[in-house]
Structure 1
Amino acid sequence: MNRAAVSASSPSSLGRRSFLGIGLGAGAALALTACGGGSGASGGGAGSSVLKWGWSLPTSWDPVFSSAGWDVHALSLVYAGLTKLDPHGTAVPALASSWTYDTQGTRLTFTLRPGLKFSDGAPLDAAAVKKSLERGISDPKSLVAPQLTSVKAVSAPDPATVVIDLTHADYQIPNLLAGKTGMIVNPAAFTADAAGIAAKPAGAGPFTLTSYTQNAKAVLRRNPGYWDAGSIKLGGFELYPLPDASTVVAALQSGQYNVAQIPGSQVQAAKAAGLEVQVIPSMVVATLDVDSAKAPFDKPEVVEALKYAIDREALVKTQEFGNGEATYQPFPKGYAGYDASSANLFPYNPAKAKDLLAQAGYSGGLDITLTTATAQGVPEQIQAQLKQVGINAKIEVIPQTQFTQIVYIEHDQQLAVDQFAGRDSAVQAFQVLFGEQGLMNPGRSTPPELTAALNKVTGTPLDSADYPKVLQAATAFAVRNTPNVFLYTVPRILARAKNVSALPQTTVVQRFEGVTVG
């Protein structure tokens, strides 16, 4: 029998979910050649309205080399994958109308929709999908290659069929391909000028980039050739960096943006200003990332002391103004990987933290460096909490444009404040957080028992009754036996002008199907 067969008319019933950042550098303005026929303000019944979103610009417009999980939101505007995630994080058809596994779970066959095109009008067929996926696997500098290690070969037996042969049963692939890992890049672009894709995306998404000023602004227009163009009601899109918290409400009132991410501290001000506010549950979790290869965190007792020394409830109240929940694990309540037995795993206990430090030989306290990209707020509050147990933390601020490189690629810091924004596949999330090559695992150490647990997760069909139990067992082991310190959930808080319709409540990636601007 074929397992996990999915089609456009019969979506999968799987229940899953989907992210960090360095900048592109200098602020040169780039004029991009318009791709694809027709005006973004017309065709397919779309209006001429433009949505101006204060959120974030990507570290690269090339999904293979994008280094920030947050980039998926911007990249989803210009790229499409074989699958996408529904509001609950379930893989459903996108460029592929259906897919099916063989009985062993080692061969996955996708059927493409007819008539697909890239935004420049070039055909998007199975051969193009094959070349794009192979680039992500084989490029020496690919940042998505670690997610595709189970792929043995990609073939295109005919223009409408893509076959992925796997080294072992891996039922996570449809979810995995819904994010950056599976975004299809036009082979003509990376054959002619691969480096140029960093500033000039070549995809088949709902919008096409028409101009771009690095670190300042991206202007996009509707792509009438997008496979689901009928759902895109906006004529254009403008994307901006995250607005300053102190000015974001005024910027929304003035029309500089008509949708923007706001911190919890600005929710009441936004409502008082007549703006609509949506608090959307997300996969984002605030974290302390620990390099267990560096002293003093090479001693397990110090890591455990750190987990008991943090008053998470106080952080939620002060930093998120009550938006979010204290947590000890990477998955939110309601997600298949959420482990109820870990709900109160390391409650705030300064006395226990001091005892653990004493066991590690630090009864007189110790000095550490706490790295952050933001000088105020969370780092300062954590610094004060650690001081109560004898940990003197010196705050070192690294510019956001260098943070990922220094902390996660060079592994040059012992402890860092950050956020983990989830991944499209649960196993991918584990690999990023706990894998030996995981970006947010600076110590590069993985217990063999966790590897075995993840192999069991990978080999369990997502629609199996056993899947949640197997995944939760992996979560329970990971949060008890790895140095990662999870703090609290961070919902996506978006304020919008009243003439902007409600935004889809999508957990993983913010989508804009059906959104209009009056």
Structure 2
Amino acid sequence: MRFPSRRRPSAVVAVVVAVMAMVVAGCGGSAAGGSTSDSTIKWGVKSIQANWDPIVTGSTGATIYLTPIYESLFTVDGERNIVPALASGYEYNPAGDQITVRLKPGLTFQDGSPVDAEAVKFNIERIKTQENSALKGSYNNVKAATVVDPLTVRLDLGQQDYQIPYLLAVRGGMLPSKAAAADPGRLNTAAPVGAGPFKVVSYDPESTIVLEKWDGYWDAASIKVSRIEINFGIDPSTLVAGLQSGVYNWAQLDPQQADEAKKAGFDVLADTDRQWGSTFLSLNANVAPFTDPAVREAVRYAINPDEFATKLTFGLGQPAHQPYPQGHPSNVSALDSEYRYDPAKARDILAKAGYADGAISFDLNGIAGNFEQAAELVQGQLKAVGITANITLKDQANWGKGYFGKQQAASIYGWVGRDSHVQGLTEHFDTGGVLNLSSPTTSPQFQEALKVVRATPIDSPDYEAKLKAAARAGYENGTTVSLFTYPSVVAKDKSISDPPAIDGYQSWKGVQFTPGPQ
């Protein structure tokens, strides 16, 4: 199967002190500043990770911090092929509406409890029933999980669905310990336990999580890094200086910092075949003023994606007219011209629907520290057609209550793809979709196309055409308005080898430190 800020004074002080120490020692800033003798990844991040339970974590972007801790039933390689992980294999029944998954024998979670069929069943049932589950919509077609024997679990499906192995890979298939998940609140906020390559040894929710290599990992031989220290809530303006001083040797950067990091001598990973994100405006068809289809249509023509790409991605991104970037199997070229920026047409649509200038007003929600500039551009573009958007930014937890509770009229948000392309579509356009602000509203056009693509084996010659048909039906009849697509920027010390280039997934397999010049 193939597929084509928050500011933290202590952190700032640490960076300044370290830089001053280098100057005193006569060392200019360089990419060789960090010590690599203990094979420790010292990771700087501006955001704070709020959730550590993969079932609760709505953002795929946030799962890059979970992948060291948790392992999935399956994973994917650089060519999007399914690869066994905790599971050894799977098979479908002839009708394609039932899949049996076999687990590898003798595996345990980091707390010593068994990786078995009961753990799989328990977590799938949590996904489907837990109130704060962010994967509920993705598992809509999984109707039941049955333990066949200690190492075999059967999933009964609502309809033919050959996408399930991808759903069980990486983000959708990360498996927490059943024993730890018996207290889901603690698992999520204080004590994450999985079966991945690294085990949590200390955690400060406001600043740092420290992970050490776990020898019980099924593929421990491929893990060369001994320790990962993730530092959260770092003032982004200090990240490159922190790299130069050796406080960090790995950092998530904003696009505007990429050139600075390159000039400082660091490797910069900024390509969409590795990690990409797409920012969008999400409208709620169940909350005024977007209960009116004319208002939703006018907004689409009022938005100018080119302005977002030009002003916010610093030459690294693309204007977006759909959730997937160019070159992705789900990208539909026809959508790029279907809703071209046309403010005159937007005004005409509103006038014909009976709306005068200034008659439409709504709260435009978003996460503080992430979407200020994008919100201001949306506000300005809508103002030009007579719509008032009142920017309302909140911390992630309070924003999430309204967004995931489907209470907001509109919000700016982003995503970084899904391992199953169909899962990406369902999360945007299906009933229960975590990114579908209009949920439970969906469209019959999308549902019909979704049924067709699910029933198509992923190695079928016409699979991609059916996938594109479902993507088009979802976007045309949904309430997502795409803005721009961009690569997630990572800067790292040159002594650290590149991680595998896997779409939307941070793998540490094979990553190692190489000795620098003596």
* Distance across 2 between alignment mates of 1:138 and 1:391: 39
* Distance across 1 between alignment mates of 2:105 and 2:37: 26
AA at the equivalent of 1:407 = Y
* Distance across 1 between alignment mates of 2:136 and 2:403: 20
How far the C-alpha of 1:230 sits from its partner, in A, is: 1.2
How far the C-alpha of 1:66 sits from its partner, in A, is: 2.7
User: Which of 306, 310, 322 pairs up with 2:315?
Assistant: 322
The number of aligned residues is 476
Alignment-derived partner of residue 506 in structure 1? 502
* Distance across 1 between alignment mates of 2:178 and 2:287: 42
1:373 equivalenced with 2:363 (yes/no): no
How far the C-alpha of 1:269 sits from its partner, in A, is: 1.0
How far the C-alpha of 1:242 sits from its partner, in A, is: 5.6
Alignment-derived partner of residue 26 in structure 1? none
Superposition RMSD in Å:
2.3
* Distance across 1 between alignment mates of 2:433 and 2:73: 25
How far the C-alpha of 1:138 sits from its partner, in A, is: 4.2
Specify the SS of the correspondent of 2:67.
helix
AA at the equivalent of 1:340 = S
* Distance across 2 between alignment mates of 1:195 and 1:415: 29
User: Which of 436, 451, 454 pairs up with 1:455?
Assistant: 451
CA pair 311-97 structure 1, distance change in 2 beyond 3 A: same
Render the CA deviation track for 1:401-421: whole Å, top value 9, x for unaligned. Answer: 321112231x33322121122
Render the CA deviation track for 1:60-102: whole Å, top value 9, x for unaligned. Answer: 2222233433332122111111101223444321112222222
Task: State how 1:77-88 maps to structure 2 within 5 Å.
Answer: 77-88=68-79
Mean CA deviation greater in 259-268 or 427-436: 427-436
TM-score normalized by the length of structure 2: 0.86
Contact 1:49–1:517 (CA under 8 A) maintained in structure 2: yes
AA at the equivalent of 2:2 = L
* Distance across 1 between alignment mates of 2:449 and 2:77: 27
Alignment-derived partner of residue 462 in structure 2? 466
Contact 1:299–1:360 (CA under 8 A) maintained in structure 2: no
CA pair 478-362 structure 1, distance change in 2 beyond 3 A: same
TM-score normalized by the length of structure 1: 0.86
How far the C-alpha of 1:339 sits from its partner, in A, is: 1.1
Contact 1:58–1:70 (CA under 8 A) maintained in structure 2: no
User: Which of 199, 202, 207 pairs up with 1:216?
Assistant: 207
Contact 1:243–1:261 (CA under 8 A) maintained in structure 2: no
Render the CA deviation track for 1:227-259: whole Å, top value 9, x for unaligned. Answer: 111111000111133643322211221222211
Contact 1:332–1:338 (CA under 8 A) maintained in structure 2: yes
1:426 equivalenced with 2:417 (yes/no): no
* Distance across 2 between alignment mates of 1:315 and 1:194: 39
Task: State how 1:24-63 maps to structure 2 within 5 Å.
Answer: 48-55=38-45, 56-63=47-54
AA at the equivalent of 1:443 = S
1:480 equivalenced with 2:476 (yes/no): yes
Contact 1:208–1:223 (CA under 8 A) maintained in structure 2: yes
Alignment-derived partner of residue 265 in structure 2? 274
How far the C-alpha of 1:287 sits from its partner, in A, is: 0.3
Contact 1:370–1:414 (CA under 8 A) maintained in structure 2: yes
* Distance across 2 between alignment mates of 1:346 and 1:231: 47
How far the C-alpha of 1:470 sits from its partner, in A, is: 1.0
Alignment-derived partner of residue 108 in structure 1? 99
5+ long unaligned stretches in structure 1: 1-12, 22-45
1:382 equivalenced with 2:378 (yes/no): yes
* Distance across 2 between alignment mates of 1:302 and 1:387: 13
How far the C-alpha of 1:319 sits from its partner, in A, is: 0.4
Mean CA deviation greater in 251-260 or 226-235: 251-260
CA pair 507-493 structure 1, distance change in 2 beyond 3 A: same
Alignment-derived partner of residue 14 in structure 1? 2
Contact 1:327–1:344 (CA under 8 A) maintained in structure 2: no
Alignment-derived partner of residue 226 in structure 1? 217
1:395 equivalenced with 2:395 (yes/no): no
Task: State how 1:105-504 maps to structure 2 within 5 Å.
Answer: 105-191=96-182, 193-198=183-188, 199-241=190-232, 243-281=234-272, 282-365=275-358, 366-374=360-368, 376-409=372-405, 411-444=406-439, 445-504=441-500
CA pair 59-458 structure 1, distance change in 2 beyond 3 A: farther
Render the CA deviation track for 1:350-392: whole Å, top value 9, x for unaligned. Answer: 2112112212222424333322224642222222222222223
Contact 1:59–1:71 (CA under 8 A) maintained in structure 2: no
How far the C-alpha of 1:266 sits from its partner, in A, is: 1.1
AA at the equivalent of 1:461 = P
Contact 2:40–2:227 (CA under 8 A) maintained in structure 1: yes
Alignment-derived partner of residue 55 in structure 2? 64
CA pair 354-364 structure 1, distance change in 2 beyond 3 A: same
Contact 1:90–1:175 (CA under 8 A) maintained in structure 2: no
* Distance across 2 between alignment mates of 1:446 and 1:244: 40
* Distance across 1 between alignment mates of 2:131 and 2:472: 34
Contact 1:280–1:505 (CA under 8 A) maintained in structure 2: no
CA pair 47-344 structure 1, distance change in 2 beyond 3 A: farther
Specify the SS of the correspondent of 1:355.
helix
How far the C-alpha of 1:398 sits from its partner, in A, is: 1.5
Mean CA deviation greater in 326-335 or 155-164: 155-164
* Distance across 2 between alignment mates of 1:309 and 1:167: 39
AA at the equivalent of 2:175 = I
Specify the SS of the correspondent of 2:389.
strand
* Distance across 2 between alignment mates of 1:185 and 1:407: 25
